[in-house]
Amino acid sequence: MSRYFITFSYDGTAYHGWQIQPHSISVQEELQKALSTLLRQSIEVVGAGRTDTGVHASDFYAHFETEQELSDTELTQLTFKVNSFLSEDIRIYRIFVVN
C-alpha cells in the first residue's frame, strides 16, 4: 500500500470546515469525491488538522492510501485532474509519495 501526501489551500466560505459533517458540505468530502472518482476506488483522506465553518487554509496537508503505485508523472497529472474536478476555492499544489 502506498501513502500520498497532498499540499493544498482552500477558501472555506462555502464549507462547514475541513472534516466531513452530516448534512453539510466539507473540504474533506469534496477532496475524497474527486480522488475516488479519478482513482476509481473509495479513497479516505486524512487531514493534518481541523478548521471550523468558513475558515480558510493557505497551507494545509492531508494524506491518503491506495494500492496503486503512482509515478511522479502520474502524480503531476493527478494533481491537475483533481483540480479540474474541484471548485476554484480548493487548490491542490502537490501530491507526492511518502513512506
89 counts as catalytic: no
Report in angstroms the alpha-carbon separations of 32 from 44, 51: 6, 17
Distance, in Å, from the CA atom of 25 to the CA atom of 23, rounded to the nearest integer, reads: 7
The one catalytic residue in 11, 52, 59, 72 is 52
Q: Which residues contact 39 (CB under 8 A, 6 or more apart)?
A: 66, 68, 78
Distance, in Å, from the CA atom of 53 to the CA atom of 16, rounded to the nearest integer, reads: 4
Q: Residues with catalytic annotation?
A: 52
